[in-house]
Amino acid sequence: MLADLEELVACESCSTDHAAVARSGQVVAAQGRRLLGASPRTLVTEGVTHVRWTFGAPRVLLLGHHDTVWPTGSLRTHPWSVERGIARGPGVFDMKAGLVQMFHALATLPSLDGLCVLVTGDEETGSATSRALIEGIARQCSTTLVLEPSAPGGVLKTGRKGVSFYDITVHGRAAHSGLEPEKGVNAGTELAHQLLALQGVADTVTASTGPGTTVTPTVLRAGTASNTVPARGELNVDVRVPHLAAQEAVDQLIRGLEPQVPGARLEINGGPNRPPLAPDASRELFALAAEQAARLGLGPLRQTAVGGASDGNYTAGVGCPTLDGLGAVGDGAHADHEHVVTATMPERARLLAHLVGALR
């Protein structure tokens, strides 16, 4: 398993580097071919490489991704290593170890009939080219098992917030900031007004639909020169919501934002990206997984709800019961301390194999 994990990590796969993702897709396909005994179908959509195996009429979808957030070249600063039972490297936790565990788990089953394995190449950037594929397969299946990494300590993820993204563009008017600033319309000042308005959006939605909604301005840009009134400003907004009612309420409020600086104009793009993964979608599957873990002597399984989203949000959103966080045990997704506890990899593979067996 460690040799396979090293091979995957050594093949960098930054989401925005389509050539790197294509090379990674070949490595994923080769590992799956060896361990599953079947060649996959490689799907390239808008330059993004996805890999899929289908065995008979699919009833259980095993879902993962092979792209990472790490820029190509990160191996130079974050090389693959295994020391004292800890594996490190770009994407090792999120989520290449989960893929290795999945392949090795399925290799132990006497039959793969009724399974679909889908490994996408754009999860980290919102799954724009794979969403339709994921949802289409999930509609055919009775269960989705997501090999995303666990929460700290191996905790499964039985709830995920929904995600919306917005791009707010302010159109103002440039002017010389020393000679005639009064002739300008300052897009930077308008951005400041919108930042304050966005604070109120979260408060309003919380008051009407309950706690858990966050509205976070992330990237801001305005201006081109220190002596020029900014004619254009841009603001990216990340929204996390606990349920659909909150997602819809946020959408209405953000689309209803009005400019405060005379002469400024707002352009608002984006909207809901992933629906929430509600705990109801995971309840029975978690109970089954806990039963299998007890039989294997793996100790009591725990569950939690998290703010981060995954492609499991999509499968739950189309009504397919979904259990997430079945992948690696470790910590540090997207961070310098990203790592996997190697001793847990066989345990998680056994749990997955027995869970799949119980489902069929």
Q: What is the mean pLDDT of the segment spanning 277-283?
A: 94
The model's confidence at residue 327, banded by pLDDT at 50, 70 and 90, is very high
Does one domain contain both 219 and 264?
A: yes
* Predicted confidence (pLDDT) per residue in 70-84, tens digit: 999 999 999 999 999
Does one domain contain both 168 and 156?
A: no
What percent of the chain is modeled with pLDDT above 90?
99
Contacting residues for 88 by C-beta, under 8 A, at least 6 apart = 78, 79, 80, 81, 82, 338, 339, 340
Domain that holds residue 268: 162-274
* Predicted confidence (pLDDT) per residue in 221-269, tens digit: 999 999 999 999 999 999 999 999 999 999 999 999 999 999 999 999 9
Closest CA to 277 of 93, 153, 137, 138: 138
Does one domain contain both 24 and 110?
A: yes
Does one domain contain both 290 and 268?
A: no
pTM of the model: 0.91
Contacting residues for 178 by C-beta, under 8 A, at least 6 apart = 227
| Secondary structure (3-state) at 249 | helix
What pLDDT is stored for residue 299 in this prediction? 84
Contacting residues for 180 by C-beta, under 8 A, at least 6 apart = none
Does one domain contain both 19 and 131?
A: yes
* Predicted confidence (pLDDT) per residue in 26-54, tens digit: 999 999 999 999 999 999 999 999 999 99
Domain boundary among 215, 248, 274: 274
Does one domain contain both 253 and 314?
A: no
* Predicted confidence (pLDDT) per residue in 89-147, tens digit: 999 999 999 999 999 999 999 999 999 999 999 999 999 999 999 999 999 999 999 99
